[in-house]
């Protein structure tokens, strides 16, 4: 039975058939069985334990008690232990000083770069370019593995529809379809085709599950939703990442259906393993096992360890409860040693697949580290991904692009000559000194333009001491560029905000500058959508650049001065105010849909139902026209397909890229369906005057949902089809599914 179990692990993890893997599974199987036979229960529990390394002003340091656990073979994995010199010594202790010499996994949150930093994930999602996204993951895996990391706590695939939640910056936005594609692309980029390649690493899909739906947009908070919503909206991206071959999954902090995810057998066993066939291992989030005590689902540490273990969480991050209590729980008969062996086998299997047993130091080559860090390839791709992530929100009177011949610009704001904040949240080991600031970028791109730079204000408080200098700079300049938004600590983990307007008194500074009458361009940098109603009404040009990482300033400057035509499209809705939240493009209709003439319909008294900027929105310096929407048939069976075509023409003066978007609506279902669902897109590049016919294929797969009978299937009936430049500006047709 044990032989079959380990063979099955290898087959399913590799995604191949038994015969294709026969030559490589036998050594793993026999070696794992041999190790298990020689391991004590305490050593086995240690393989299911992950401790965190600390970093001090003098450098990295592992706590003395963790070091004792490591030397005793009771700490099989480490988090946050990177750089070759540091990690190599820890690996040496594990393989040379412990009884069995089992190598360590070194995990790290490499969310959007290691030392070279790329756009935050929410920004890069706005490229709608899976090749760029996959290559970004491939490159930061290459850089991080050169510094000793072999396990990445990424991708974040949480669907989020509440921009108050700080961790929206780490995810891909509000859409299920696009979020699923992006999650799978990141897994492919991180893991590559062969985990034994030292430039690849284990991916860890997180946060499982539904963490992005935290109530009130507050981090670590409760999630409460129907199973239908869970399966229709929140689970598909996790499933897509698992199907792409993700080796590990991380349990989320939140509770779901009244049970913390870390203790949810429903999530970890019934769905993840039984329904999806996942055979990697699940790790808790940081102290997630411990936190079940405060959740109120268990009374003490020992019960927390038992619940998490029985739920199907194979590894305990940071709490140390598995190491402390699993041996005791086995002796008491509350958990079985065979279950422990199963869990340990999964961890050992992945260590073998990484090649760590053959060469524990394969990720710990100082020559490779020095040759890899800050490669030109990383900077070049960082610039490309940054440019493609930028979303043009407004361009009244074609103020942009700016001419390189204008005599002067006023560059004002706390993000104008700022390095560290451009890295964004979770920049891990990102090096601020390598960042190209906006000021430096403009100097590179438009060297003849005089820059009148003033910081003006900060991100907090109400200090106006810099206002007068900023106003003076604006008055003596031809154009004003306002570099405003959030700093890197105002979004991300533990950075939820109840007011998502411009922080500090940046709004007041912007109003004062606008009052000078000078043309103003806002470069908005943030880790989330902000509420910018006044800005939209009063400022002629708004460039939303998010936090773009190392090459941010160069990318923004090239876009401001026309070397790059922005093509990003929003993957998250911008609300008009916080009171509209949650607001997203594929809400459901009501029995009393909006009617301006009827008070007793679904609407607000004080604000429109419509967002400030909808999902899929993004302008260009050129213009695109849509015409001739055609369907190849007006009826189809479940075994047939319909081709949807549209002609897109670049009617402007610039070469540009456009994301052509396909949406559908199921008009009548056994349960109510959203008013619109993204089901396809194509990014095209057109020269001025050029046209292209874009064709999409609709099959039965695009029409499936979680029905009233709790089945994932389609239902006969009529469907609307929408094709356009965003989720609201579309051409429309319909067909019938027989």
DSSP 42-65: HHHHHHTEEEEPEEETTEEE--HH
Q: What does the DSSP 8-state code read for residue 217? A: G
Q: Which whole number is the average pLDDT over 10-29? A: 42
- The per-residue pLDDT for range 78-130, each reduced to its tens digit, is 999 999 999 999 999 999 999 999 999 999 999 999 999 999 999 999 999 99
Domain parsing of the chain, residue ranges: 2-53+79-361, 370-580, 624-737
- The per-residue pLDDT for range 160-203, each reduced to its tens digit, is 999 999 999 999 999 999 999 999 999 999 999 999 999 999 99
Which tokens in the block code for residue 420? 């560290």
User: 385, exposed or middle or buried, with CB in 10 Å at 0-12, 13-18, 19+?
Assistant: buried
pLDDT on residue 614: 98
| Alpha carbon 132 to its chain's center | 14
User: 33, exposed or middle or buried, with CB in 10 Å at 0-12, 13-18, 19+?
Assistant: middle
| Cis preceding-peptide flag for 209 (omega within 30 of 0) | yes
Q: What number of other Cβ atoms are within 10 A of residue 734's Cβ? A: 14
pLDDT on residue 22: 32
Query: For residue 377, how many C-alpha atoms fall within 13 Å in the half-sphere facing its CB?
Result: 10
pLDDT beyond 70 at 309? yes
Residue partners of 424: CB distance under 8 A and separation at least 6 = 112, 117, 119, 120, 123, 169, 488, 491, 492, 527, 546, 547, 548, 549
Q: Which whole number is the average pLDDT over 438-458? A: 98
**Residue 652 and residue 605 in contact, taking contact as beta carbons nearer than 8 Å:** no
650 band by pLDDT with thresholds 50, 70 and 90: very high
In the chain, pLDDT over 90 holds for what percent of residues? 95
Distance separating alpha carbons of residues 486 and 532, to the nearest angstrom: 13
pLDDT beyond 70 at 364? yes
Distance separating alpha carbons of residues 359 and 353, to the nearest angstrom: 11
In angstroms, how far is the first alpha carbon of the chain from the final one?
47
Per DSSP, the residues of 440-492 read: HHHHHH-TTSEEEEE----SSS---TTHHHHHHHHHTSSEEEEEEE--TTSSS
- What kind of fold does domain 370-580 have according to CATH? Rossmann fold (3.40.50)
**Residue 472 and residue 409 in contact, taking contact as beta carbons nearer than 8 Å:** no
Regarding pTM above 0.85, the answer is yes
Q: 255-256 and 259-260 as β-strands: parallel, antiparallel, unpaired?
A: antiparallel
Among 56-65, 349-358, 368-377, 588-597, which stretch is predicted with the lowest mean pLDDT? 56-65
pLDDT on residue 15: 37
Distance separating alpha carbons of residues 47 and 70, to the nearest angstrom: 10
**Residue 391 and residue 569 in contact, taking contact as beta carbons nearer than 8 Å:** yes
**Residue 90 and residue 104 in contact, taking contact as beta carbons nearer than 8 Å:** yes
- Name the residues annotated as catalytic: 285
58 band by pLDDT with thresholds 50, 70 and 90: confident
**Residue 220 and residue 253 in contact, taking contact as beta carbons nearer than 8 Å:** yes
Is there a common fold for 2-53+79-361 and 370-580?
A: no
Distance separating alpha carbons of residues 703 and 708, to the nearest angstrom: 15
pLDDT beyond 90 at 6? no
Torsion of CA 373, 377, 380, 385, to 10 degrees: -90
pLDDT on residue 54: 86
pLDDT on residue 56: 72
70 three-class SS: helix
pLDDT on residue 21: 29
pLDDT beyond 50 at 592? yes
Distance separating alpha carbons of residues 676 and 584, to the nearest angstrom: 10
Distance separating alpha carbons of residues 207 and 253, to the nearest angstrom: 8
Q: What number of other Cβ atoms are within 10 A of residue 50's Cβ? A: 26
pLDDT on residue 258: 97
Residue partners of 474: CB distance under 8 A and separation at least 6 = 410, 412, 480, 513, 516, 518
pLDDT on residue 28: 86
Q: 479-485 and 712-713 as β-strands: parallel, antiparallel, unpaired?
A: unpaired
pLDDT on residue 320: 97
pLDDT on residue 569: 98
Q: What does the DSSP 8-state code read for residue 613? A: B
pLDDT beyond 50 at 9? no
Q: What number of other Cβ atoms are within 10 A of residue 127's Cβ? A: 28
pLDDT beyond 80 at 41? yes
Does domain 2-53+79-361 correspond to CATH entry 3.20.20.300?
yes
3 band by pLDDT with thresholds 50, 70 and 90: very low
pLDDT on residue 14: 38
Distance separating alpha carbons of residues 210 and 189, to the nearest angstrom: 23
pLDDT beyond 90 at 18? no
349-365 burial, b for 16+ CB within 10 Å, e for fewer? bbbbbbbbbeebebbbb
Q: Cite the beta strand spans of 519-655 per DSSP E.
A: 520-525, 541-544, 624-631, 635-636, 642-650
- The per-residue pLDDT for range 136-171, each reduced to its tens digit, is 999 999 999 999 999 999 999 999 999 999 999 999
**Residue 252 and residue 268 in contact, taking contact as beta carbons nearer than 8 Å:** no
**Residue 438 and residue 417 in contact, taking contact as beta carbons nearer than 8 Å:** yes
Which tokens in the block code for residue 128? 């709608």
Distance separating alpha carbons of residues 296 and 246, to the nearest angstrom: 31
Q: Domain 624-737 class?
A: mainly beta
Distance separating alpha carbons of residues 285 and 71, to the nearest angstrom: 24
55 band by pLDDT with thresholds 50, 70 and 90: confident
**Residue 592 and residue 483 in contact, taking contact as beta carbons nearer than 8 Å:** no
What is the pLDDT of the chain when averaged over all its residues?
95
């Amino acid at each position: 039975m044990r032989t079959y179990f380990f063979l099955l692990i290898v087959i399913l993890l590799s995604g191949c058939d038994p015969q294709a893997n026969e030559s490589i599974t036998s050594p793993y199987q026999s070696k794992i069985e041999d190790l298990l036979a020689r391991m004590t229960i305490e050593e086995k529990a240690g393989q299911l334990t992950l401790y965190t390394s600390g970093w001090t002003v003098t450098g990295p340091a592992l706590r003395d008690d963790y070091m004792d656990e490591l030397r005793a073979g009771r700490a099989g994995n480490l988090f946050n232990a990177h750089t070759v010199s540091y990690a190599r010594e820890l690996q040496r202790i594990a393989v040379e000083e412990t009884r069995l010499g089992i190598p360590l996994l070194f995990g790290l949150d490499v969310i959007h770069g290691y030392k070279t930093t790329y756009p935050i994930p929410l920004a890069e999602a706005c490229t709608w370019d899976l090749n760029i996204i996959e290559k970004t993951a491939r490159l930061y895996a290459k850089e991080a593995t050169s510094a000793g990391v072999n396990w990445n706590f990424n991708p974040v695939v949480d669907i989020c529809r509440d921009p108050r939640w700080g961790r929206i910056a780490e995810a891909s936005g509000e859409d299920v379809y696009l979020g699923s594609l992006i999650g799978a692309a990141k897994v492919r980029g991180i893991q590559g085709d062969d985990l034994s390649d030292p430039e690849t690493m284990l991916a860890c899909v997180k946060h499982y599950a539904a963490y992005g739906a935290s109530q009130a947009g507050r981090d670590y908070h409760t999630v409460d939703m129907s199973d239908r919503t869970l399966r229709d909206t929140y689970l598909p991206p996790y499933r897509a990442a698992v199907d792409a071959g993700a080796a590990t999954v991380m349990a989320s902090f939140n509770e779901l259906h009244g049970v913390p995810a870390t203790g949810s057998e429903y999530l970890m066993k019934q769905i993840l393993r039984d329904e999806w066939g996942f055979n990697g291992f699940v790790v808790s989030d940081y102290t997630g096992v411990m936190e079940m005590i405060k959740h109120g689902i268990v009374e003490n540490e020992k019960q927390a360890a038992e619940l998490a273990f029985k739920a199907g969480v194979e590894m305990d991050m940071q709490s140390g409860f598995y190491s402390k209590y699993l041996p005791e729980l086995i002796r008491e008969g509350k958990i079985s040693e065979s279950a422990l062996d199963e869990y340990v086998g999964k961890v050992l299997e992945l260590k073998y697949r990484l090649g760590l047993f053959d060469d524990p130091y394969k990720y710990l080559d100082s020559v490779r580290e020095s040759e890899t860090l800050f490669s030109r390839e990383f900077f070049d791709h960082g610039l490309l991904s940054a440019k493609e992530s930028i979303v043009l929100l407004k361009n009244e009177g074609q103020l942009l692009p700016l001419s390189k011949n204008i005599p002067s610009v006023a560059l004002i704001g706390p993000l104008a000559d700022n390095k560290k904040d451009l890295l964004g949240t979770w920049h891990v080991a990102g090096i601020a000194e390598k960042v190209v600031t906006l000021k430096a970028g403009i100097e590179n791109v438009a060297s003849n333009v005089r820059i009148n730079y003033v910081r003006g204000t900060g991100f907090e408080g109400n200090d106006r001491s810099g206002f007068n200098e900023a106003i003076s700079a604006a008055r003596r300049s031809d154009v004003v560029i306002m570099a405003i938004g959030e700093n890197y600590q105002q979004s991300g983990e533990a950075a939820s905000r109840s007011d998502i307007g411009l922080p500090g008194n940046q709004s007041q500074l912007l109003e004062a500058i606008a009052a000078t009458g000078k043309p103003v361009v806002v470069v908005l940098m943030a880790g989330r959508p902000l509420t910018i109603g006044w800005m939209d009404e009063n400022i002629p040009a708004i460039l939303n650049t998010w936090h773009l990482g190392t090459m941010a300033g160069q990318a923004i400057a090239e876009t401001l001065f026309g070397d790059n035509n922005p093509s990003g499209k929003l993957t998250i809705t911008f609300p008009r105010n916080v009171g509209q939240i949650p607001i997203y493009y594929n809400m459901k209709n009501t029995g009393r849909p909006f009617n301006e003439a009827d008070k007793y319909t679904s609407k607000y008294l004080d604000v429109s139902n419509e967002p400030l900027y909808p999902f899929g929105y993004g302008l260009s310096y050129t213009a695109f026209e849509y015409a001739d929407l055609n369907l190849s048939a007006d009826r189809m069976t479940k075994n047939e397909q319909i081709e949807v075509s549209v002609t897109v023409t670049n009617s402007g003066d610039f070469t540009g890229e456009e994301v052509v978007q396909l949406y559908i609506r199921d008009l009548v279902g056994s349960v109510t369906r959203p008013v619109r669902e993204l089901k396809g897109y194509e990014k095209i590049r057109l020269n001025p005057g050029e046209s292209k016919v874009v064709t999409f294929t609709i099959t039965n797969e695009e029409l499936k949902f979680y029905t009233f009978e709790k089945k994932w299937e389609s239902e006969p009936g009529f469907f609307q089809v929408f094709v356009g430049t965003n989720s609201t500006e579309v051409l429309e047709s319909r067909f019938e599914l027989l």
